[in-house]
Structure 1
Amino acid sequence: MNELPSIRSFLSTYFPVFMGAIFASIFTLVFTVPVFFDSYMPSLSMADNAKYAFLVGIALTLIIVHCNFMIARGHPQWTWPVVVLLGVCFLSVLPTLNDQPNALMYALSLVFPLLGLLLFNSKRHREMRQKLVEVRLLREAISARQKAR
């Protein structure tokens, strides 16, 4: 019964920043992948462009989901693949201004990776990762005690 308030306070404190980082990462892909394919592969037909953008988007989304699942399980080193992905997305879209992409798509494909990086570097996200490591260590200790019996 004492665990419920701590879980509730943990979620009310850290869940918004955790979900914000996930949504910023997903929206980064939503806006970056089409701009990337339009600018760097102009010879592709519209159908091929959409097909490849969809497949790459799905693959990168699975990577983001897996990394965030591992973060939630108490492995903070899995933030690095998402941070690298956000950085690559930002840096790959930045030079496409010469190709005159849609201004809104261009702006959002630059804003969302920066927002995601800001959320991953926030004090609250770092505190959450540290608390999740503590929970993982407690879980491993309980599991080791159960196996010893």
Structure 2
Amino acid sequence: MKMTPAEFQAFMRRYFAMFLLGFFMCLISAALSSTLWIDSHWRHHPDNPSYTLLASAVSTLLLCTGHLAMVRGFTWAMWLVLPVPAVALLMTLSLFGSGLNALMLAIMLVLALLALLVFNSGRHREMRQRLIELRQLRR
């Protein structure tokens, strides 16, 4: 059973902003924390740019694959997405006391926590449940 255009518009109006907020909060928190963590721990290492690129590529791959699977209605999609802000949070916590700017650390901490909060919100859960229902209807 297909969604009518009016149902699709209502679905997008209700959930699209939350979907994008979750994606970009994860992306920004992962980018900031991995870049600063690698630069603070391996500052003078000759392969520092390669490690930064590898960390960015892995987090981008996990986020894009997880969100694509989420849109397709797979229940396991969250297990690809949630490690990204969790690892970003742990990386940020490990940077406390390293001499980095306290405001930057606070911003990174808040971004990672907000990303986890978005995925735990009621609207995001509703969206995931509705996407799972749509997947079951397509079968």
Tell me the TM-score normalized by structure 2. 0.90
Listed as ranges, the gaps of 5+ residues in structure 1 are: 141-149
Q: 3-state SS of the aligned residue for 2:97?
A: helix
Residue 116 of structure 1: SS of its match in structure 2?
A: helix
Structure with bigger helix share is 1
1:93 is displaced (CA, Å) by: 1.5
Q: Which residue of 2 aligns with 1:22?
A: 23
Shift of 1:86: 1.2
Work out whether residues 62 and 84 of structure 2, in 8 Å CA contact, stay in contact via their aligned partners in 1.
Answer: no
Residue in structure 1 matched with residue 112 of structure 2 by the alignment: 113
Q: CA deviation at 1:43?
A: 4.0
Query: Please, what is the CA RMSD of the aligned residues?
Result: 1.6
CA offsets 1:90-109 (integer angstroms, 9 cap, x no match):
01221212111133432222
- The separation in 1 between residues aligned to 2:103 and 2:35, in whole angstroms, is 13
Q: Does 1:127 align with 2:98?
A: no
**Counterpart position of 1:139:** 138
Q: Could you say which residue in structure 1 is the equivalent of 2:89?
A: 90
Query: Structure 2 CA distance, aligned partners of 1:89 and 1:31?
Result: 8
Encode CA deviations 1:67-94: one digit per residue, 9 max, x unaligned.
Answer: 0000000013211232122112101221
Provide the secondary structure at the position in 2 that maps to 1:98.
coil
The percent of aligned pairs where both chains have the same amino acid is 34
Q: Output the CA distance in 1 between the equivalents of 2:49 and 2:80.
A: 25
Q: Max radius of gyration: which structure?
A: 1
CA offset at residue 33 of structure 1? Answer: 0.8
Give 1:110 deviation, angstroms. 1.1
The one-letter amino acid paired with 2:23 is I
| Superimposed CA distance per residue, residues 104-149 of structure 1 (whole angstroms, 9 cap, x where no aligned partner) | 4322221111111011000000000111011001111xxxxxxxxx
